[in-house]
């Protein structure tokens, strides 16, 4: 069991800097997920922690010890790779035993550990098989088993589910969550899949271009994104962004003027905001209401039926259509003119720098923001 602490960690490949000073505290037993678009440095950050890449500057602590110059095997970590990275010429048993064998464990200790891990992962019947005789899901279990037998203080997962099909992905995701509950080991998990991030994480670290954009619990990030990037990255379909101008600020929040005339008051802190300033209003597709007449008017460009809900892509005279999600089957058709209402309580405002205006926490905090409430209570 160990905590992982990064202090101003930087990484450069030649002249190109890919990690720009990351500070991060990961508590003992915590499940932390790194998310971000491809090329944001999330895998590199994981490899720095694993010791597969050297930290260019900054300090890396695992369990209170500085491990910058320590070999991967001596850091008390185990890693599960995206491509499984099993040894193709060894059978499942030997794949899992290899690390212990190199650590010069006794034969009986190795046997006990391997069989215990195999029982946990239900791969006991596969121990004599070669990796090429296994399905993708089974290979991934073996890879996880190889990590378990090392009894690591920290588990590192590098997009472990992205090579699996959808059904297996859900199943394996649940198994990883169970593994975390059973072992209570610190886990760091890299993914670009936000469903995995939301469901697995105690805390999510959103990375962009080698920088940490925001760290927080999944719901904190979902309900109170710190900036435009996080707001746009989490949530599917993506949050709608509408540029608009600030018309009035008072104690209740900031009133903005929508492109076609309507106004919305958003309960955010007005500190430092001037009337007339250009801001970006963000609202999730679930929070836009369809009316005959509303603050916005538009024409439905496309209807997408998802079964349990449907998406309306509404042309509001801007380059990108507004997305609306409503439950059940659609009552509308493409081409229809509709009105949209935006509930200010569910809106976010972002300044031109990209930073979000902090939400006010009035007594009757909207029900859609439980995390926000929790934080304010604390």
Partner 1 sequence: MKILARIGFWLLVAGIGLFSIFPFYYAVISSFRSGNDLFSVAYLPERLDLSNYVAVFERQPFGTNILNSIVVAASVVALSLALGITAAYAFGRIRFRGRSLLLMTILAVSMFPQVAVLSGMFELIRGFGLYNTLPGLILANLMLTLPFTVWVLTTFMRELPKEIEEAAFVDGATPWIVVRRVFLPLMMPAAVTTGLLAFIVSWNEFLFALTFTLTNERRTVPPAIALMSGSTAYELPWGTIMAASVIVTLPIIALVLVFQRKIVAGLTAGAVKG
Return the number of the residue (159 or 220) whose C-beta is nearest partner 1: 159
Least distance CB 85 / partner 1 (angstroms): 4
Write the CB contacts of 307 (distance below 8 Å, at least 6 apart in sequence). none
Q: Does 56 bind partner 1 (CB under 8 A)?
A: no
- Among the residue ranges 18-26, 85-93, 178-186, 255-263, the one whose residues contact partner 1 (CB under 8 A): 85-93
Return the number of the residue (137 or 282) whose C-beta is nearest partner 1: 137
Write the CB contacts of 232 (distance below 8 Å, at least 6 apart in sequence). 238, 239, 241, 282
Return the number of the residue (10 or 70) whose C-beta is nearest partner 1: 70
Is residue 62 a contact partner of residue 4, using CB atoms and an 8 Å limit? yes
Q: Does 82 bind partner 1 (CB under 8 A)?
A: yes
Least distance CB 21 / partner 1 (angstroms): 25
Q: Does 99 bind partner 1 (CB under 8 A)?
A: yes
Q: Does 71 bind partner 1 (CB under 8 A)?
A: yes
Structure tokens given for 193 = 């899949």
Q: CB pairs under 8 A, 24+ apart, for 114-121?
A: 114/145, 114/149, 117/145, 117/148, 117/149, 118/92, 118/93, 118/145, 120/145, 120/148, 120/179, 120/182, 121/145, 121/148, 121/175
Rounded CA gap, 118 and 96, in Å? Answer: 9
Q: Report the residue from 9, 18, 60, 78 that binds partner 1 according to the rule CB under 8 A.
A: 78
Number of residues in contact with partner 1, rule: CB under 8 A?
29
Rounded to 5 degrees, what angle do the CA atoms 181, 7, 157 make? Answer: 35
x/- binding map, residues 124-153, to partner 1, per CB under 8 A? ------xxx------x------x---x---
Q: Does 83 bind partner 1 (CB under 8 A)?
A: yes
- Among the residue ranges 75-83, 178-186, 200-208, 346-354, the one whose residues contact partner 1 (CB under 8 A): 75-83
The rounded radius of gyration (Å) of the Cα atoms in the chain is 24
Structure tokens given for 375 = 């934080």
Q: Which residues bind partner 1 (CB under 8 A)?
A: 50-52, 71-74, 77-79, 81-89, 98-99, 102-103, 130-132, 139, 146, 150
């Amino acid at each position: 069991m160990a905590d992982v602490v990064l202090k101003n960690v930087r990484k450069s490949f030649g002249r190109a800097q890919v990690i720009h000073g990351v500070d991060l505290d990961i508590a003992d037993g915590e499940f932390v997920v790194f998310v971000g678009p491809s090329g944001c440095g999330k895998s590199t950050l994981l490899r720095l922690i694993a010791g597969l890449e050297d930290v260019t500057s900054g300090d890396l602590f695992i369990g209170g010890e500085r491990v910058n110059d320590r070999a991967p095997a001596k850091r008390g970590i185990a890693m599960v790779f995206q491509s499984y990275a099993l040894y193709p010429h060894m059978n499942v048993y030997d794949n899992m035993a290899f690390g212990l064998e190199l650590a010069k464990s006794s034969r009986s200790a190795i046997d006990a550990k391997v069989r215990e891990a195999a029982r946990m992962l239900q791969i006991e019947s596969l121990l004599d098989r070669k990796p090429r005789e296994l399905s993708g899901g089974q290979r991934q279990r073996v890879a996880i088993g190889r990590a378990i037998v090392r009894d690591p203080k920290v588990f590192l997962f590098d997009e472990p589910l992205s090579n699996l099909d959808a059904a297996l992905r859900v199943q394996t995701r649940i198994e990883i969550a169970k593994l975390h509950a059973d072992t209570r080991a610190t886990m760091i998990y890299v993914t670009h899949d936000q469903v995995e991030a939301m469901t697995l994480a105690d805390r999510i670290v959103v990375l962009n271009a080698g920088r940490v954009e925001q760290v927080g619990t999944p719901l904190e990030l979902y309900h109170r994104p710190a900036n435009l990037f996080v707001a746009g990255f989490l949530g599917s379909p993506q949050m709608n962004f509408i540029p608009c101008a600030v018309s009035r600020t008072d104690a209740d929040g900031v009133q903005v003027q929508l492109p076609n005339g309507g106004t919305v008051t958003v309960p955010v802190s007005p500190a430092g905001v001037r009337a007339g300033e250009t801001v970006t209003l963000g609202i999730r597709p679930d929070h836009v209401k369809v009316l005959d007449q509303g603050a916005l008017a538009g024409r439905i460009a496309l209807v997408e039926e998802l079964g349990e809900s449907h998406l309306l892509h509404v042309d509001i005279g801007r380059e990108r259509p507004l997305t609306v999600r409503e439950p059940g089957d659609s009552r509308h058709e493409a081409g229809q003119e509709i009105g949209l209402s935006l509930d200010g309580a569910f809106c976010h405002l972002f300044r031109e720098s990209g930073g979000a205006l902090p939400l006010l926490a009035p007594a009757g905090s909207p029900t859609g923001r439980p995390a926000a409430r929790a934080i304010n209570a604390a």
